[in-house]
Amino acid sequence: MKIQTAERVSHKDKSDNFVYQRSVLAYVEAAKLVSGRVLEIGTGSGYGIEIIADHADEFVTIDKFETDELSKKEIQARSNVKFMQMNVPPLKGIEDNSFDFVISFQVIEHIQNDGLFVSEIHRVLKKGGKFIVTTPNKKMSITRNPWHIREYTVDELDVLLKKSFSKVDKKGVLGNDKIMKYYEENKKSVHKITRFDIFNLQYRLPRQILQIPYDILNRMNRKKLLKENTDLVSDIVMDDYFVKQATDSCFDLFYVAEK
């Protein structure tokens, strides 16, 4: 059974639109690059299946949770798609040098042993294969996210990937004026909540204790922003985001590492 947290965004909830459209962009950009055998780590809500599957000879997608009914139907409708349920790392049962591309979006920040995670991806990639990864840019995080074991700066993710990969193309996801307006509204709204944290407990307490309160407040905040800024939130589309060279002001890091 999946846990329904604000970490797993969906097109069904309009309050997620700011994050959802950014997430879709990652799949659309990856679809321009992938071919052959493609492995995804982190199926999530499954909205990337349709985007990637049409560009792959075989698409294997992994998640720690079972797929929902919508994702199951999407997978069953496509002969080239396979779902595997497993916790990673390691990538159990997956052979060395067996995939042309591995994609993993908004997952690595949840992995305890990120070094093993990256080395396992390197192992299953063919020579010349590429790992496409997105993760939040730590410099743009408004608060601590206790669901994340860590977040990365532009340089930190580069250093991690280069422990296994020979070449890393460092790009990032940025937004236009509409996106930045939402971001500033969100920052103001969050600060109205965190101003009561006078002892800075969000950074001092163990993250597991903070996960459920954070998730409740995060969801409430997103719905509040939707109610107070309905047009702004609803009007955000994928094209309001774009990918270019990574900087401290990008929302997500979008890196392509080559074996």
**Beta-carbon neighbour count of residue 50 at 10 Å?**
14
**Residue 27 lies inside a defined structural domain of this protein:** yes
Structure confidence at residue 11 (pLDDT): 72
**Residue 105 lies inside a defined structural domain of this protein:** yes
What does residue 189 show for φ and ψ, rounded to 5 degrees?
Answer: -65, -40
Candidates 51, 55, 59, 49; CA nearest to 35 is 55
Structure confidence at residue 2 (pLDDT): 43
Structure confidence at residue 22 (pLDDT): 96
**Residue 251 lies inside a defined structural domain of this protein:** yes
Which residues, including other chains, have CB under 8 Å from residue 228's CB and lie 6 or more apart? 185
Q: For all residues of the chain together, what is the average pLDDT?
A: 93
pLDDT digits (tens, 9 = 90+) for 3-46: 455 567 767 788 999 999 999 999 999 999 999 999 999 998 88
**Residue 96 lies inside a defined structural domain of this protein:** yes
**Residue 3 lies inside a defined structural domain of this protein:** no
Question: Edge-to-edge strands of the sheet including 241-245?
Answer: 81-85, 58-63, 37-41, 99-105, 125-136, 252-258, 167-175, 241-245
User: Residue 227: pLDDT band by 50, 70, 90 thresholds?
Assistant: very high
- Domain extent for 116: 14-258
**Residue 7 lies inside a defined structural domain of this protein:** no
Report percent pLDDT > 70 for the chain.
Answer: 96
pLDDT digits (tens, 9 = 90+) for 108-156: 999 999 999 999 999 999 999 999 999 999 999 999 999 999 999 999 9
**Residue 173 lies inside a defined structural domain of this protein:** yes
Number of domains in the chain: 1
**Residue 95 lies inside a defined structural domain of this protein:** yes
CATH code, domain carrying 162: 3.40.50.150
User: pTM higher than 0.85 for the full model?
Assistant: yes
Report percent pLDDT > 90 for the chain.
Answer: 84
